[in-house]
Structure 1
Amino acid sequence: MFFLLSKLLDFVLLPVLWLLVLLVAALLTNRPARRRNLLLFALLLLVLGSNNALLNETLLVWELPQ
């Protein structure tokens, strides 16, 4: 059970999956303001998710000092 849950969470937490969900939602919505907000959030997720410097700094903050 734990193995299945860990693999499912690994898939659900991928930034690429969230990016695709946001882009599909932006394509399917009819309201221009919501479409713009979804596209801006997708762009923000793309920049933050693909920036290695920000990811490294986040991981350094998360680690315990030795």
Structure 2
Amino acid sequence: DGVTHDLQPTIDRIRSGKLFTFRHDGSIYRNKDGLLPNLSNGVYKEYIHPTPGLMKGAGVLLGL
């Protein structure tokens, strides 16, 4: 539950269409290495989730 709660501001930001100024925020992540399950449209979107203690831009969250 703590993890879900921590992600809520990022999930709300994604749903509202707001992006951070990080280069890859909101960009398409093509899963070229096949590490994620296949999607019907073939792509994921990449969003940044600020994570205290990690360097700037760290803490990637992949959304559909």
Structure 1-normalised TM-score? 0.27
Structure 2-normalised TM-score? 0.28
Task: Tell me which of the two structures has the higher relative contact order, counting C-alpha pairs closer than 8 angstroms and 6 or more residues apart.
Answer: 2
